[in-house]
Amino acid sequence: MYDTDNQQKRMTTQCPALFISAIASGQGKTTITAGLARYYRKQGKKVIVFKTGPDYLDPLILEKASGSPVEQIDLWMMGESECRSLLYQAAKQADLILVEGVMGMFDGSPSGADLAELFNIPVAAVIDARSMAQTFGAIASGLAHYRKEIQFAGAIANATASQRHRDFIQNSMPSDVKLLACLPKQDAMQLPHRHLGLINPEEVNDIEQRLDAIAQIIEESGLANTHIQDVSFHAEATTHYEQALAGIQVAIARDEAFSFIYAGNIRLLKSLGAELHFFSPIHDKTLPDCDVLWLPGGYPELHLQALENNHTMHHAIRQHFVDNKVILAECGGMLYIQQSLTDISGYKAKMIGLISGDGIMRSKGGCQGMQSAPLPEGEIRGHAHHRSKSENTETAIAYGKRARHPSPGEKIIRKHRLTASYIHLYFPSNSEAIVKLFSQKI
């Protein structure tokens, strides 16, 4: 399907880079990364940000802050070669690279620390200091010395209460570990959340003002004065894709209800020659002319009445299915093409009904984790993250394979040329399988 130029010389370029990690989730990594990106952007710098892991929402905030596209970067889902290539391409055009970690610094296998070590990127660790004083220094020291192979740039104290609190923290630091900054606890350092994470910035009316305010706090704290070290990034052999999807028209749902789309998926489809057409299941009356319909995840449960009442869109999608054309429905997209979806208040909306199944939102519980989908076309890596359950569903043709647990993962449903699952697929993990899936013949 493609060939690789193994004769390409190994090239190197340098760019300042910093990996923003933490001791756990909820410490303020995204807020601080976004604030740094916005600060340097306002200084006229070209900032490129990556988000470790499969998150969709954090990259939207980081893209708004930096003014540049943000891609996920993950060793399990993407592999070392693609991660290396993305970093090298970014280093060729950026004045600064920021990488936001996922969960805690050493959580997961591979972890954010593994990625930082592999690419020799210095790590700054965010520690929420609200419930501690001198213990801060002990935690920072533990992070700095836990693995000697990692370059530890220093610790960032977040949500400090007063100058006295900041003095306790400063005095607790060991001499060989830097305290990069103390950020004060204040409302301006908060970004709005909902059940699956941060709120899409397009829904936050004052997002620009919020990001500017965070950047100002970053500047006043002295964090912006941190020396960010140059890192050498190496090129990978160039992969030349054949135009295996040339002439294939792909319609992609993208609006308030459907927005969980990996940038790498779009990049791959374009490189394969597919013609992409974005549409809104909420606002548009019909589908674009297309051979393939991709319904990604998102928040359909927040827009039930609008989705339920768009009858002409329902008809168009049903006709696409009846015409035996390809459909890929992931997570929220799968809920949309089942029989019904009930929101957290108990409101039950009729959905399109291409397959059996009733989606029900839950106030807690759900699923999160890396999984691969063993499709007939090939195994594709991805991720599941949802706060719903689906009952009365179709019989599965297979189940997702969890990255680090033997129990079966999410159901994978195949009905004619429709494929549906809770799993969000990362297309570049198996481009040959994507070509087969999007151009399959019955």
Catalytic residue among 182, 290, 331, 367: 331
Q: What is the pLDDT of residues 145-204, one digit of tens each?
A: 999 999 999 999 999 999 999 999 999 999 999 999 999 987 666 665 544 455 666 666
Q: What's the average model confidence in pLDDT over 382-405?
A: 90
| 350 has a pLDDT exceeding 60 | yes
331 catalytic, yes or no? yes
Q: What angle do CA 228, 233, 238 make, to 5 degrees?
A: 150
* Alpha-carbon gap, residue 265 to 277, rounded angstroms: 14
The pLDDT tens digits for 86-128 are 999 999 999 999 999 999 999 988 999 999 999 999 999 999 9
pTM assigned to the model:
0.88
Backbone angles phi, psi at 236, to 5 degrees: -100, 160
CB 50 within 8 A of CB 241: no
Q: Do 326 and 417 form a contact (C-beta atoms < 8 A)?
A: yes
For residue 405, the model assigns a pLDDT of 81
pLDDT in tens, 268-297: 999 999 999 999 999 999 999 999 999 999
What CA–CA distance (Å, rounded) separates 204 from 377? 40
User: 240-251 burial, b if ≥16 CB within 10 A, otherwise e?
Assistant: ebeebbeebbbb
The token pair at 147 is 């693995």
- The whole-number pLDDT of residue 283 equals 98
The pLDDT value recorded for residue 204 is 64
What backbone phi and psi angles, to 5 degrees, belong to 263? -60, -35
Please, what are the domains in the chain? 2-234 (3.40.50.300), 242-439 (3.40.50.880)
d(CA 193, CA 96): 28
What band does 331 get if pLDDT is binned at 50, 70 and 90?
Answer: very high
